[in-house]
Amino acid sequence: MMRPRRSELHTLAGAYALDAVSGADRARFERHLAGCRACARELQELREATISLAAGATEQPPSRLIERTVAAAARMPQLPPVAISPPAWAGARRWLERRGLRLSQAMTTTLRSPRTRAVRPRLALALVIIFVAATAAAGLVALKVEHQFSAVQRRDQEITQVLNAPDAVMLTARISPAGTATIVLSRHDRALVFTTEGLPLLPHGRCYELWLMGPAGERSAGMLPAAHDGMTSPVFAAGLAAADWAGLTVEPDGGTAHPTSAPILMLNLATANA
Amino acid sequence: MAKGDEAAFEAVCVRVAAIVFGVARRVLRDPGLAEEVSQEVLLELWRCASRFRPGRGSAIAWVTTIAHRRAVDRVRSERRSAEREQRAGSHSIAYDEVVEMVEARLDRERVRRCLGSLTELQRESVTLAYYGGYTFQEAAALLGVPEGTVKTRMRDGLIRLRDCMGAE
């Protein structure tokens, strides 16, 4: 009796992916799914196919939907923020002064009253932002990536690894004069993922460069890609050292070996101790 | 809640609202109901964000899965109460109307082209389920074919759709 019942359940995968299974059948299939890795894998593939069906239905909602939803979420409790300690701030300022770099007034204010936080449970929200940004930018082409091993896929794997690291923490910080940076980092992997939202567009020939700065010296962690809808796709940076800060500067296209302008973001990664 | 968090969540909402609302609207038809369900879905996203594991699929797949499941559960409960009230719950609107709405509003050329690459029965089965919110048993009755056939066509149709979207 087992075999026919199993194969019968197996053929339900398509209907289940379409939510066309209800009641007792749904429960039965979910029980089966819990113990069938092949089914789970197949279901995931079929689910990815339903994205295109969803994409075909895309429709702009009334703007009040987002306003109301954000307002409702705002009433849900949050964990307390973790602030940059005064000694750390003084250290950052000395570090900058030694290099003849000065912070803008707005940046100084941001550092003095940091809006930085390292809150473990909020991590997943950052993941959503990062992955939605990545997939939205790539559109449905993301589906294609699955079938070929490419640089993009390798990058996604590195990013996924950081995001899934058991010790991963998330930091958000304001960028001066505008924008927000979101960082997810894993000390264990000595790596971080960096993404931004709302950065001003730069004149032709200039771009944003990400830095890791600390006792180990300053290292370029790569150029930010062009923004889509105001968000930059995630940048993966490895080789993170214990006392590093993350910095962002505006540099000539192609980047430089050392920062040549005052950072518009200086973020103490040591605050990210979950 | 700190402003930064609000902004982060708002960014997520801005990014996924159109696909969430689109799915809900297509399944539920009524814009007010669709809005209500969309808000539930977005708040669920906020609440359950820690369940999300990127390795198990894209965020978009996760979001659309939640949105579709909610919309379908809602449309079924609406249909049940409508049937109770009217006792005339024939599914006469079914297939033609669903297809018409779908074809009139599918703005993505590629999705339409790929749906077109399915066999007629595959396309009908997939469309009735995903956009119409019908169970495979209901779809089988509407199409006048055995339930087993519809189940198979749904699975084959999704596989073909996936291959088509991936191949372009």
Q: Which of A4-8, A132-136, A193-197, B57-61 has the lowest mean pLDDT?
A: A132-136
In this prediction, residue A117 carries a pLDDT of 39
How many Cβ atoms are within 10 Å of A273's Cβ, its own excluded? 10
For chains A and B, what is the number of CB pairs under 8 angstroms?
259
Return the CATH fold of B1-89. Answer: Rna Polymerase Sigma Factor; Chain: A (1.10.1740)
In this prediction, residue A98 carries a pLDDT of 52
In this prediction, residue A152 carries a pLDDT of 54
Say how many CA atoms lie within 13 Å of A218 toward its Cβ: 18
Q: Indicate whether A104 pLDDT > 60.
A: no
Average pLDDT over residues A121-133: 46
Number of H helices, E strands in chain B: 8, 0
B113 touches chain A (CB under 8 A): no
Return the CATH fold of B92-168. Answer: Arc Repressor Mutant, subunit A (1.10.10)
Q: What's the rounded Cα separation, in Å, for the pair A142 and A125?
A: 20
Domain with CATH 1.10.1740.10 in chain B: 1-89
> Global pTM?
0.59
Beta-carbon separation of A54 and B68 below 8 A: yes
Closest Cβ opposite residue B59 in set A12, A68, A135: A135
Chain A positions touching B126 (Cβ under 8 A) are 18, 53
In this prediction, residue A112 carries a pLDDT of 41
Average pLDDT over residues B64-72: 92
Q: What's the rounded Cα separation, in Å, for the pair B111 and A55?
A: 8
Q: Indicate whether A119 pLDDT > 90.
A: no
Beta-carbon separation of A123 and B155 below 8 A: no
Taking only the tens place, the pLDDT of each residue in A237-265 is: 999 988 888 999 999 998 888 888 888 98
Q: How confident is the model at residue A151 (pLDDT cuts 50, 70, 90)?
A: low
How many Cβ atoms are within 10 Å of A70's Cβ, its own excluded? 21
Q: Best-predicted range by mean pLDDT among A202-216, A248-262, B56-70, B119-133? A: B119-133
Q: Indicate whether A102 pLDDT > 60.
A: no
Closest Cβ opposite residue B68 in set A15, A19, A45: A19
Closest Cβ opposite residue B59 in set A22, A46, A132: A132
Average pLDDT over residues A176-198: 85
Beta-carbon separation of A59 and B157 below 8 A: no
In this prediction, residue B64 carries a pLDDT of 87
In this prediction, residue B96 carries a pLDDT of 44
In this prediction, residue B21 carries a pLDDT of 94
Average pLDDT over residues A83-104: 44
Average pLDDT, chain A: 72
Domain boundaries, chain A: 2-55, 86-271
Q: Indicate whether A12 pLDDT > 70.
A: yes
Eight-state DSSP code of residue A200:
P
The residue ranking higher by pLDDT, A44 or A116, is A44
The CATH number of A2-55, from 1.10.260, 1.10.10, 3.30.70, 3.10.450, is 1.10.10
Report the side by side order of strands in the sheet with A235-238. Answer: A169-174, A180-186, A191-197, A235-238
In this prediction, residue A94 carries a pLDDT of 54
**Which chain A residue is nearest to residue B160, measuring alpha carbons?**
A49
Q: How confident is the model at residue B111 (pLDDT cuts 50, 70, 90)?
A: confident
Q: Which of A120, A130, A127, A129 is nearest to A80 (CA)?
A: A120
Q: Which of A25-29, A180-184, A249-253, A256-260 has the lowest mean pLDDT?
A: A180-184
CA distance B88 to chain A (A): 22
Beta-carbon separation of A70 and B10 below 8 A: yes
Closest Cβ opposite residue B162 in set A49, A66, A160: A49
**Which chain A residue is nearest to residue B153, measuring alpha carbons?**
A14
Chain A positions touching B162 (Cβ under 8 A) are 45-46, 48-49, 52, 143
Q: How confident is the model at residue B32 (pLDDT cuts 50, 70, 90)?
A: very high
Chain A positions touching B47 (Cβ under 8 A) are 76
For B:82-101, CB contacts with A below 8 A are none
In this prediction, residue A164 carries a pLDDT of 64
**Which chain B residue is nearest to residue A13, measuring alpha carbons?**
B155
How many Cβ atoms are within 10 Å of A155's Cβ, its own excluded? 16
**Which chain A residue is nearest to residue B24, measuring alpha carbons?**
A57
Q: How confident is the model at residue B67 (pLDDT cuts 50, 70, 90)?
A: very high
**Which chain B residue is nearest to residue A144, measuring alpha carbons?**
B166
CA distance A115 to chain B (A): 7
Q: Indicate whether B153 pLDDT > 90.
A: yes
The residue ranking higher by pLDDT, A163 or B149, is B149
Q: How confident is the model at residue A229 (pLDDT cuts 50, 70, 90)?
A: low
Chain B positions touching A126 (Cβ under 8 A) are 8
In this prediction, residue B50 carries a pLDDT of 52
In this prediction, residue B6 carries a pLDDT of 61
The predicted complex's ipTM stands at 0.83
Six-digit token string for A231: 């968000």
Closest Cβ opposite residue A44 in set B45, B57, B76: B57
Q: How confident is the model at residue A269 (pLDDT cuts 50, 70, 90)?
A: confident
